[in-house]
Structure 1
Amino acid sequence: MNSNNTVAQKIHIGKLETMKIRIIDLERQNLKIKAYTENDMLEEIRKIIIEESNKN
């Protein structure tokens, strides 16, 4: 069996859209003020993904 077939994951489109909007807003803000380094941005994006995926 293919591992893609054995792992069933459901993607919630609303959560995905919210993640994308928050990440794009963060990127735009950082382009203006350069508050975050590349590693900091990765960590902030990771936090956004985790927060949104944990919401009910």
Structure 2
Amino acid sequence: MRVLVTLLLVGSLIFEGHDHDDEHDYGYVEELYEKLEYISHRIDELEERLEE
């Protein structure tokens, strides 16, 4: 389930964060990486709470 949630979030972030008119702007990749780290951390916290 974690993989499915992560894939859905990644897909939504890619389409939300990328300006399709500017092919040379790669700053969104750095933002995406930071968002993915945050999401992964939150999922880990949630899994720990559910296991308790």
TM-score (norm 1): 0.44
* Higher RCO (CA 8 Å, separation ≥ 6 residues): 1
